[in-house]
Structure formats: C-alpha cells, structure tokens
Amino acid sequence: MTVKLYELCGADPKRVFSPYAWRTRMALAHKGITPERIPVRFIEKDKIAFSNQKRVPVLVDGDKVVTDSWAIASHLAEAYPKGPALFGSPVALGTARFVNDWANTTVNAALFPLILMDVFNCLDAANQAYFRESREKRFGMTLEQFAADRDKKLPAFRAALAPARTTLGAQPFLAGDQPAYADYILFGNFMWAKCTSPLQLLEKDDPVYAWRDRLLSRFDRMGAKAKGFPVLSSAGGAVPGTLTPRKHCLLMVNGTLVIG
C-alpha cells in the first residue's frame, strides 16, 4: 500500500521545511515507513484540495487521508502497532501532548521571528509576494519589522527551551533512553530552522544541542542530509548537510502549517 506525504517546500522542491511535516517524516521513519513525498509550495494549494483544507502535512495512507501532524502520529500509532511505539503508555501519550502544545505555542512563538526572513528568502518570487502580503496583513507590520533585532530575541528562544534542557540534562531523549514522538515534535522545530536559516540557535554546551545531534543522526542521518544549512555538532565539527548560498524562505495553527 502506497503512503504519500504532502509537505511544504521552497523554491527548490528539495528544501522541505515545515516543522509539522518534519514531525511526520520522523514518525514515519520511526515506524519503518518510506512514503512517496510530494512537495507543495504556498500557492499550490490545489495539490492538497482533495483533503478539503489548506494545511500541510497531509498523509494519504491507502484510501485514508489524514491531516494535522498530531492526528497523523495518532493514525500511525493505531494503524501500525508493530515495531517501536510512537507514544507508549497512556501516560506517555499525555506527556507527548503537552510537548506538542508547548512546541506549537511557546517554542514556535520564540523561533518564528528569528528565521522569518530566512524562510522568506527560500521562496521564489511568486511565493514571496504571497507570503509577504498574507503575513504582513496578519502581523499588522512589515516582515522586516516583525523580524527586527534578531540577536536580541535569541536569548528568549533559548530560555523557552528550559523544560527540554532540564529533562535532557538527565536523560538522552525527551521520551527516555530512546526517542519517540515527543522528541520528534520539538525536533521538527529545529529542522524548520536548519532547512531555512544559517542562524546557530544553540550554545555547544547546551544539552539540547547534543540531543539535536543525536536526532540528526537517526534513520540513516535523514535530518543531517536534508537540504539546508549545516549546524555545528557537539563534537565541534559541522553536521553534514547541503550548504547552499543564502538568498535573503507561516502561519502555525495547532499541528499544521497553513498554506492559505
């Protein structure tokens, strides 16, 4: 049975950067599923019209269409019970839901202004025009004003990671000794940044830094190999990835990225 994943991309269809689609990609890999991947740009909503909504990710699993990254993870856990669990116990499911809500609100709110202009510059001209008009209407200010003083805002983003930092100081993953969906939720946020921005978000001695390294290396280094910008590993070298020249490339609603 063919599994298809529709995910947001920039001007280059290989640059896929939706944090929610990255959560789904990691969840699929966790279950040993390799989907057919279909890139979708902001103004290509017709590609996902069949899902009766305007957001990615969209998963097509046989005759079932699932939208929203949390709903997709729940579907995978139910439809593919064999192999490593995405959530585990009901208690772990509740914890993952907390991480999901925290990442969607606190973490995204602190991260988005840091990478906004980098996201914009990953888009082609037509999508840039759409992105600028729609986001400036929502923000009530220009993109440049929304993204101003990035260096001053970076400490607030790092402070927002305090719950994860405390946990990861005591164990290798948010889920414990091995990663699970709680980890993939927050990791999706970091892949959003890695795929669009050269900004180094973390200090090398941060436990979150080493955790990110571990997840970049999972599933045959899927995250490390993704098209984007390199991040420095905790060992001091660059995590392999595709470095592309910077061209000065989203509105979050719960567990999805709006393309509308």
Residue 180: which of 91, 242, 54, 61 has the closest Cα?
91
Tell me, what's the pLDDT at 250? Answer: 46
Phi, psi of 193 (to 5 degrees): -70, -45
Helices 108-120 and 181-194 pack at an angle, to 10 degrees, of 40
DSSP H helices in the chain: 19-30, 69-79, 90-102, 108-120, 125-139, 143-146, 150-160, 162-168, 181-194, 207-216, 218-225
Return d(Cα 37, Cα 154) in angstroms, integer.
33
Query: What are the angstrom distances between the C-alpha of 258 and each of 19, 107, 254?
Result: 11, 17, 10
Return d(Cα 226, Cα 123) in angstroms, integer.
17
Six token digits for residue 59: 């998963």
Q: Is the pTM of this model over 0.75?
A: yes
CATH of 90-248, one of 2.40.33.10, 3.40.190.10, 1.20.1050.10, 3.90.180.10: 1.20.1050.10
Give yes or no for a contact between 239 and 247, defined as CB atoms under 8 angstroms apart.
Answer: no
**Strand pairing report for 3-8 and 36-40:** parallel
Tell me, what's the pLDDT at 242? Answer: 42
Residues β-bridged to residue 3: 61
Q: Is the peptide bond before 230 cis (omega within 30 degrees of 0)?
A: no
Domain 3-79 superfamily per CATH? Glutaredoxin (3.40.30.10)
DSSP state at residue 33: -
| Residue extents of the structural domains in the chain | 3-79, 90-248
> Please, how many CA atoms are within 13 Å of residue 27, restricted to the half-sphere of its CB?
33
Q: What is the pLDDT along the chain (260 residues), one digit of tens a residue?
A: 789 999 999 999 999 999 999 999 999 999 999 999 999 999 999 999 999 999 999 999 999 999 999 999 999 999 999 989 999 888 899 999 999 999 999 999 999 999 999 999 999 999 999 999 999 999 999 999 999 999 999 999 999 999 999 999 999 999 999 999 999 999 999 999 999 999 999 999 999 999 999 999 999 999 999 999 988 665 555 655 444 433 334 444 444 454 44
Angle at Cα 11 formed by Cα 41 and Cα 136, nearest 5°? Answer: 65
**Strand pairing report for 64-67 and 242-243:** unpaired
